[in-house]
């Protein structure tokens, strides 16, 4: 990563305030006089019930609401375990400070679904079924994209290949606004990089989803929620961001909506232009040879995204909605791959040097369509129906001349020039229905989902000799992947007495999938790979209220991770003739059993320990080529098992009136086991530690400052790659102008340039050390 200087200008087009402002102060207490800290205080316009201001109480239960336009308001105070308190018809005059003095909350039934443990919604909320990372809570998110934000999110880790894990577990399922993203690999990375931080409202991290969610994703679900205004009338915002590191990056986004009693129409769009660089170094030993590999690349891209939708309130119980979204990405990657080849013995002279100058162009077009209907009954019953279609078209072309030079890199010994054409077309069809109602003192949920994913992949290799291009039928192929999943679930939750809450569910999924590879030569043709299996996925949740502010929670879930088209296609995608990656058509789906035990103190300090056992874990391995002793490759294999123990602490602290802090700490122990025969053994253990912290300060002259950073201890990526520690420190400053309609932010990220990686792997006779 590079050091960036971010300058962000946002214009929020909202209702203007005229005249002098008023304020409200007060204090919340329990019946025995104990202060109620970190309760939610919401101020509503009395005329139309729209939200005017939101605040929280401090450690002493005191709240202050400032900058209020004169008028009549209703105030609501709420906290988990207490009945909501209302103060209605509060009339405020210009420059008036209304003191509500002491307000007393009465005890109510515990509604765990609404419990949060953070002092401010501005950063992190820990709920019984998920952790919520509120993007607007960090100044240092300015100018960043979705994948950069995930590096800061609680319990989330993003490795050097942009692979995402949660609580040390790989196999995360990515959603946007509750809809699954079918993208993987480079396509997923490109999409996440096209979403600017200014377009994102929050990130939901669901480590142990219940039966209502599809069972795919061993590490659970990350749901990126985009901004959407719920206020009446017309609202909108425009954001412009520029950042300068070694190269410039800029993005612009805009959002708006119009809402009345009958409908809500909303839209969002953004554009990104960026340049970046990538440098990697590997020193590898295999088959008595030493290969020193340098890769130096420069990447440029432009992307555009949009999202348009409408909800029509047909009746107070019926809502019909439509949603259309899209993304277009155009990128060019120019990189040089240079490999120095010699014998492995110390002091051996250079035999030859391979130089591959690659130029890759990518064009990705994505469009999604949704129709949804919701019924909200008067007795708590709900019915939801969703119809979705996604269309993804990816075009990739690569020109790659491989030239072998002598030891002085002066004379060309041999030359192999290739051209690659690699289009991918994906179509996704989904039908989903969910129903909930109150039953037997609890909540019953049931539903079904039908989905089909069709992926058509073409991999064409052309040999260029004397300027004439000829298709290489030995290396070319087409690969079609057709996956159908039929699912149904049943879930029930209810309280047991005053202290216990119980939920249990069962999801059944029938998978029918076919991977059909078509070779251009009959002798290379292989039979289709058929996958047909039925799996049951139970889930269980228990919570116990030790006391008013102490809660224990236990969760269990069984999940699956199916291999997709990217990892099944066996043909080579090469960086050079001696360095490539290929899929594995014989991969099995991996199955994991996840156990989590959590403890929450005062609805804000969260402690969690987890255990997961995965069979047939799908992982990446680096191995030597069997035919060319100089070549090595990255592929996908099933580990026999992977065992992970993990622990997480999430703690927001209010150190002073003007200093708030947040700490998130995760540690884990990993054990990878596999034996592929002929000495190819995986026996890897690692103890890891990750820390993220953010310190926010209220400074003079209306300024807000922020210091944030993260640290990742040595650990393991994939199956056998051991990496060293890496860290980053970020600074930010913010000030608002024009009645908080203009927000200016300045930030600098990774100021010590310590987020680079280095490490080594050793497997099946190949030892490789590298950094980048």
Confidence at 229, pLDDT banded by 50, 70, 90: low
Confidence at 472, pLDDT banded by 50, 70, 90: very high
- What domain range includes position 64? 21-108
Percent of the chain whose predicted confidence (pLDDT) is above 70:
90
Residue 489, pLDDT above cutoff 80: yes
Element (H, E) at 57: none
- On whether residue 691 sits in a domain, the answer given is yes
The C-alpha atoms of residue 386 and residue 432 are separated, in whole angstroms, by 5
Boundary of a domain, candidates 108, 135, 162: 108
Boundary of a domain, candidates 108, 136, 153: 108
User: Which of the two residues, 70 and 7, has the higher pLDDT score?
Assistant: 70
Phi, psi of 705 (to 5 degrees): -110, 160
Half-sphere exposure of 345 (CA within 13 A, CB side): 3
The C-alpha atoms of residue 21 and residue 36 are separated, in whole angstroms, by 27
pLDDT at 5: 31
Confidence at 228, pLDDT banded by 50, 70, 90: low
pLDDT at 241: 78
pLDDT at 15: 31
pLDDT at 182: 66
pLDDT digits (tens, 9 = 90+) for 302-361: 999 898 999 998 888 899 999 999 999 999 999 999 999 999 998 899 999 999 999 999
What would the mean pLDDT of 275-290 be, rounded to a whole number? 91
Tell which residue, 151, 119, 117, has the closest CA to residue 135.
151
pLDDT at 2: 35
CATH number at 160 reads: 2.40.170.20
Which token pair is 425?
Answer: 């077309």
pLDDT at 685: 92
- Name the 3-class secondary structure at 458: strand
Is 139 found in the same domain as 94? no
pLDDT at 9: 26
Is 583 found in the same domain as 657? yes
Is 100 found in the same domain as 147? no
pLDDT at 247: 83
Confidence at 111, pLDDT banded by 50, 70, 90: very low
pLDDT at 126: 61
Is 269 found in the same domain as 412? yes
pLDDT at 478: 92
pLDDT at 128: 57
pLDDT at 410: 92
Tell which residue, 129, 111, 79, has the closest CA to residue 495.
111
CATH number at 80 reads: 2.60.40.1120
Hey, what long-range contacts does 264-267 have (CB within 8 A, 24 or more apart)? 264/230, 264/310, 264/311, 264/313, 265/309, 265/310, 266/228, 266/229, 266/308, 266/309, 266/310, 267/306, 267/307, 267/308, 267/309
Contacts of 708 (CB under 8 A, 6+ apart): 138, 140, 152, 692, 693, 694, 695, 729, 730, 732
Confidence at 362, pLDDT banded by 50, 70, 90: very high
The C-alpha atoms of residue 359 and residue 594 are separated, in whole angstroms, by 43
Q: Which of 116-130, 230-244, 707-721 has the highest mean pLDDT?
A: 707-721
Residue 615, pLDDT above cutoff 70: yes
Is 132 found in the same domain as 95? no
Q: Strand 221-226 and strand 200-206: pairing?
A: antiparallel
- On whether residue 6 sits in a domain, the answer given is no
Distances (CA, A) of 524 to 116, 324, 457, 474, 628: 58, 42, 17, 8, 19
Confidence at 107, pLDDT banded by 50, 70, 90: low
Residue 30, pLDDT above cutoff 70: yes
Distances (CA, A) of 127 to 89, 133, 686: 32, 11, 30
Is 37 found in the same domain as 164? no
Residue 19, pLDDT above cutoff 60: no
Is 240 found in the same domain as 97? no
The C-alpha atoms of residue 279 and residue 160 are separated, in whole angstroms, by 12
Phi, psi of 742 (to 5 degrees): -115, 125
pLDDT at 185: 67
What would the mean pLDDT of 594-603 be, rounded to a whole number? 87
Residue 739, pLDDT above cutoff 90: no
What would the mean pLDDT of 219-234 be, rounded to a whole number? 76
Residue 632, pLDDT above cutoff 50: yes
Percent of the chain whose predicted confidence (pLDDT) is above 90:
33
pLDDT digits (tens, 9 = 90+) for 421-432: 999 999 999 999
What would the mean pLDDT of 545-561 be, rounded to a whole number? 87
- On whether residue 639 sits in a domain, the answer given is yes
- On whether residue 115 sits in a domain, the answer given is no
Is 142 found in the same domain as 58? no
pLDDT at 581: 85
Phi, psi of 617 (to 5 degrees): -55, 125
Per mean pLDDT, which range of 138-152, 261-275, 521-535, 715-729 is the poorest?
138-152
Boundary of a domain, candidates 108, 138, 156: 108
User: Which of the two residues, 471 and 79, has the higher pLDDT score?
Assistant: 471
Tell which residue, 643, 647, 634, has the closest CA to residue 764.
634
Contacts of 221 (CB under 8 A, 6+ apart): 172, 173, 174, 175, 204, 205, 206, 209, 213
User: Which of the two residues, 62 and 58, has the higher pLDDT score?
Assistant: 62
> Buried (b) or exposed (e) across 625-642, using 16+ Cβ within 10 A?
beeeebbbbbbbbbbeeb
Which token pair is 201?
Answer: 């409202």
Cβ proximity of 465 and 417 under 8 Å: yes
Residue 566, pLDDT above cutoff 90: no
Is 404 found in the same domain as 282? yes
pLDDT at 144: 65
* pTM recorded for the entire structure: 0.74
Which token pair is 305?
Answer: 């995204």
Is 73 found in the same domain as 199? no
Residue 266, pLDDT above cutoff 80: yes
The C-alpha atoms of residue 497 and residue 76 are separated, in whole angstroms, by 28
What would the mean pLDDT of 462-470 be, rounded to a whole number? 94
* Total tally of structural domains belonging to the chain: 2
Per mean pLDDT, which range of 394-403, 468-477, 561-570, 672-681 is the poorest?
561-570
pLDDT digits (tens, 9 = 90+) for 655-689: 888 888 888 899 999 999 988 887 788 898 999 99
User: Which of the two residues, 487 and 133, has the higher pLDDT score?
Assistant: 487
pLDDT at 17: 34
β partners of residue 342: 290, 350
* Mean predicted lDDT score pLDDT of the chain: 84
Is 52 found in the same domain as 177? no
DSSP string, 671-682: EEEEE-STT-EE
Question: C-alpha angle 633/636/641, rounded to 5°?
Answer: 130
Residue 40, pLDDT above cutoff 50: yes
Which token pair is 771?
Answer: 């950094």
Is 165 found in the same domain as 78? no
pLDDT at 356: 93
- On whether residue 314 sits in a domain, the answer given is yes
The C-alpha atoms of residue 388 and residue 314 are separated, in whole angstroms, by 21
What would the mean pLDDT of 116-129 be, rounded to a whole number? 51
Cβ proximity of 691 and 664 under 8 Å: yes
pLDDT at 538: 95
DSSP string, 729-766: EEEEEEEEETTTTEEEEEEEESTT-----EEEEEETTE
Tell which residue, 201, 200, 191, has the closest CA to residue 272.
191
Per mean pLDDT, which range of 178-182, 215-219, 716-720 is the poorest?
178-182
pLDDT digits (tens, 9 = 90+) for 140-181: 555 567 777 787 777 777 765 677 878 777 778 888 887 777
pLDDT at 240: 81
pLDDT at 13: 26
pLDDT at 738: 79
């Amino acid at each position: 990563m590079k050091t960036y200087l971010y300058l962000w200008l946002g214009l929020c087009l909202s209702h203007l305030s005229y005249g002098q402002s008023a304020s409200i102060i007060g204090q919340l207490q329990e019946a025995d006089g104990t202060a109620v800290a970190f309760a939610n205080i919401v101020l509503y316009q009395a005329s139309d019930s729209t939200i005017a201001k939101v605040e929280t109480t401090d450690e002493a239960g005191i709240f202050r609401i400032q900058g209020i336009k004169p008028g009549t308001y209703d105030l609501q105070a709420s906290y988990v375990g207490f009945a909501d308190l209302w103060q209605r018809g509060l009339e405020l005059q210009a420059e008036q400070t209304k003191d509500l003095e002491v307000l007393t909350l009465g005890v109510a039934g515990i509604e765990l679904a609404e419990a949060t443990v953070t002092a401010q919604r501005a950063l992190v909320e820990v709920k019984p079924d998920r952790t919520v990372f509120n993007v607007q809570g960090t100044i240092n998110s300015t100018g960043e994209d979705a994948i950069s934000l995930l590096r800061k999110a609680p319990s989330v880790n993003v490795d050097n290949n942009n692979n995402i894990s949660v609580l040390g577990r790989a196999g995360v399922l990515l959603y946007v606004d509750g809809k699954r993203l079918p993208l993987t690999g480079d396509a997923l990375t490109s999409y996440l990089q096209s979403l600017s931080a200014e377009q994102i409202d929050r990130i939901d991290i669901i480590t142990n989803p219940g039966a209502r969610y599809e069972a795919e994703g061993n590490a659970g679900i990350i749901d990126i929620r985009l901004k959407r205004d719920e206020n009446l009338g017309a609202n909108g915002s425009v954001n412009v961001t520029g950042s300068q590191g070694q190269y410039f990056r800029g993005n612009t986004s805009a959002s708006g909506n119009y809402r009345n009693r009958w409908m809500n129409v909303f839209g969002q769009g953004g554009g990104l232009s960026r340049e970046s660089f990538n440098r990697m170094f590997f020193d590898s030993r295999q088959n008595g040879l030493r290969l020193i590999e340098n890769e130096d690349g420069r990447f440029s891209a432009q992307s555009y995204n949009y999202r348009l939708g409408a909800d029509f309130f047909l009746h107070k119980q019926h809502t019909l909605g439509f949603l259309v979204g899209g993304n277009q990405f155009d990128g060019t990657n120019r990189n040089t791959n240079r490999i120095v080849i010699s014998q492995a013995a110390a002091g051996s002279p250079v035999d030859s040097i391979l130089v591959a100058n690659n130029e890759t162009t990518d064009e990705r077009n994505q469009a999604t369509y949704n129709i949804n209907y919701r019924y909200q009954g008067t007795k708590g019953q709900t019915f939801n129906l969703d119809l979705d279609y996604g269309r993804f078209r990816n075009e990739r072309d690569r020109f790659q001349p491989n030239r072998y030079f002598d030891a002085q890199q002066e004379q060309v010994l041999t030359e192999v020039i290739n051209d690659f054409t690699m289009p991918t077309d994906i179509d996704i069809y989904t039908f989903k229905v969910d129903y909930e109602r109150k039953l037997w003192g609890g909540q019953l949920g049931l539903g079904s989902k039908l989905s089909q994913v069709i992926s058509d992949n073409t991999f064409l290799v052309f040999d260029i000799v004397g300027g004439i291009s000829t298709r290489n039928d030995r290396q070319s192929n087409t690969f079609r992947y057709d996956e159908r999943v039929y699912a149904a679930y049943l879930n029930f939750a209810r309280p047991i007495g005053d202290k216990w809450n119980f939920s249990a569910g069962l999801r059944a999924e029938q998978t029918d999938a076919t991977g059909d590879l078509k070779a251009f030569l009959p002798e290379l043709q292989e039979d289709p790979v058929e996958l047909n299996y039925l799996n049951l996925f139970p889930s269980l949740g228990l919570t116990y209220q030790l006391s008013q502010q102490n809660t224990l929670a236990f969760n269990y879930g069984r999940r699956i991770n199916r291999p997709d088209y990217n990892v099944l296609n066996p043909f080579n995608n090469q960086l050079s003739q001696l360095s490539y990656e290929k899929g594995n058509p014989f991969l099995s789906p991996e199955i994991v059993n996840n156990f989590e035990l959590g403890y929450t103190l005062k609805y804000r300090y969260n402690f969690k320990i987890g255990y997961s056992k995965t069979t047939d874990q799908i992982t990446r391995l680096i191995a030597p080529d069997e035919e060319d002793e100089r070549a090595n490759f990255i592929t996908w294999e099933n580990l026999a098992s992977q065992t992970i123990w993990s622990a997480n602490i999430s703690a927001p602290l209010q150190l002073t009136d003007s200093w708030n802090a947040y700490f998130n700490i995760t540690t884990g122990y990993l054990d990878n086991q596999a034996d592929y025969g002929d000495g190819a053994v995986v026996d890897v253990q690692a103890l890891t530690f990750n820390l993220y912290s953010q310190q926010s300060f209220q400074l003079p002259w209306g300024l807000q400052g922020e210091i944030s950073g993260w640290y990742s201890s040595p650990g393991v990526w994939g199956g056998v790659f051991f990496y060293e520690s890496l860290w980053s420190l970020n600074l930010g400053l913010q000030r608002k102008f024009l009645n908080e309609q203009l927000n200016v932010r300045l930030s600098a990220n990774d100021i010590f340039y310590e987020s680079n990686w280095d490490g080594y792997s050793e497997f099946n006779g190949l030892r490789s050390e590298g950094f980048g």
